[in-house]
Amino acid sequence: MLPLTLPAVLRAAATETPDRAAVVAGDVRLTFGQLQAEVSRFARAALADGVRPGDRVALWAPNTERWVIAALGALSVGAVLVPVNTRFKGEEARHVLTSTGASVLVVDDTFLDAGRLSMLEATGSLPDLRTVVRTDTDGWDAFVGNGMGISDAQVRAAAEAVVPDDVSDIIFTSGTTGRPKGAMVTHGQSVRLFHDWATNVGLTADDRMLVVSPFFHSFGYKAGIVACLVTRATLLPVKVLDVDDTLALIAREKATVVPGAPTLYTTFLEHPSLSSYDISSVRLAVTGASVVPTELIRRMRDELGFEQVLTAYGLTECCGYATGCRPGDSDDVVSLTSGRAVDGVEVSVVDPGGGDLAVGEAGEVLVRGYNVMVGYWDDPEATAAAVDPDGWLHTGDVGVLDAAGNLSITDRLKDMYVVGGFNAYPAEVEQVLVRHEGVSEAAVIGVPDARLGEVGRAFVVTRAGTAPTEDELIAWCKERLAGYKVPRTVALVDSLPRNATGKVDKLLLASPG
């Protein structure tokens, strides 16, 4: 029987297949037995530090073996994991830490030369935060060495006390208001769902999965770490996407599965030295977007040599997975839809009044099932707005179901746009822009981009007597927002178009001319 907590899944893998490769990250190679030992060391230190069930442990670091160890170590003592986007600046990270009351922060302070701790310190005090563990210094060894007084029996008891209904993580998303919200999901939801995901895509213990998608995101964390744990596949984390290094890693480690946003594969295809790398070991790619061009699917098979390409759909609020294609689906199904609902999950398309629509009619996509979040952290009003009394999650996406139950996402009720696989929310960017002394009003939309799929374009009405430049406003955003959220262009306009209710008409902004 499948264990339904992450500590139990790891313990089973370490007991039954201790010598199987679990994580390969640079020069670090850990079997499942060794991974369990490292996770137990972190768990000891967490217990010695006073971490107790339900405490929040934040993790602000890139894809490395230490992310995996820290995450599983925290989860093994019953703590709740709070992944933090590595692209966040100080204010963004502060909101995550303060709103969850995180008592421990595990951080890589040198990744991409970010200086995360100094950015965070500049935002003010963090009264709940008592311990900072750096993954990039000797501080890591010092922390894990503090657990020597904790016995194996105590560590084992803490892990065994974790139950499937315990909240395992809080992953932050955003809404149309731009205020990030933390979606809570449980151990049982994550393990069951990504066991189903692995089954649906055909992942096995013989696979070696290269994960470029960041672990702070549901796709990288759940379809990467969790899926590899439940199947005992080997995880190959990529810290930063350098195309040559990544292609070389695929060739050297014989990666068989490479999930990622469509942008990843386009980047591979456009690389001038692609032919010098042997990536023939890759048999499966799993991606997701509203539409993945059929030509890209063909090129992934013909030019990259991938045997199978599959697409899927999900939101953070439903653990990152609701529908997916299966091996054997046609190119049209894979490229034009996001597949069918996971077993045990319902997907419906409804009209504005909530009534079911016929096959082929567009409406809001609703999801109901065991994968729907427990709720937003400390935000019952937002939870009630997202999940109705009948248990349906209102996704805010517009879609169509075909006769076979395949879902096609056609639009978004929300204004969100997707930049290279990352969700960007206009309201958050607009709030930053209007804080500039020269900005009176701002509206942001997503516009097509050949490389990233979409990027932000801002329309700004300036304040009287000021003359901010496009470069100045972009620089202002860069100082306050993760890079993918920053508008690529800014148009200075006299006024913003509005509809009859006074709201900005973004359809007009998006229209040519």
DSSP label at 137?
A: S
98-157 pLDDT, tens digit per residue, is 999 999 999 999 998 789 999 999 999 999 999 999 999 999 999 999 999 999 999 999
Both tokens of 142, joined, read 């010092």
Q: Which of 397, 404, 427, 212 is nearest to 316 (CA)?
A: 397
DSSP label at 498?
A: B
Which residues touch 224 (CB under 8 Å, ≥6 apart)? 209, 211, 213, 215, 235, 237, 259
- Mapped onto helix, strand or coil, the DSSP state of residue 453 is strand
Q: Which of 218, 287, 212, 194 is nearest to 250 (CA)?
A: 212
Q: Which residues of 23-47 are buried (b: 16+ CB within 10 A; e: fewer)?
A: bbbeeeebbbebbbebbbbbbbbbb
Alpha-carbon dihedral sign for residues 183, 365, 396, 332 = positive
Rounded to the nearest angstrom, the gap between the alpha carbon of residue 467 and the centroid of all alpha carbons in its chain is 38
Identify the CATH homologous superfamily for domain 418-510: ANL, C-terminal domain (3.30.300.30)
Q: What is the pLDDT of residue 224?
A: 98
Segments of the chain with pLDDT less than 50 = 175-177, 500-501
Q: What is the pLDDT of residue 504?
A: 78
Q: What is the pLDDT of residue 275?
A: 95
- Measure the CA–CA gap between 28 and 135, rounded to whole angstroms: 14
Q: What is the pLDDT of residue 146?
A: 94
Alpha-carbon dihedral sign for residues 67, 60, 264, 274 = negative
Domain layout of the chain by residue ranges: 418-510
DSSP label at 438?
A: T
- Measure the CA–CA gap between 333 and 389, rounded to whole angstroms: 33
Whole-number Cα distances in Å, 411 to 65, 79, 400:
37, 37, 10
Q: Which residues of 152-187 are buried (b: 16+ CB within 10 A; e: fewer)?
A: eebbeebbeebebebbbbbbbbbbeeeebbbbbbbb
- Mapped onto helix, strand or coil, the DSSP state of residue 92 is helix
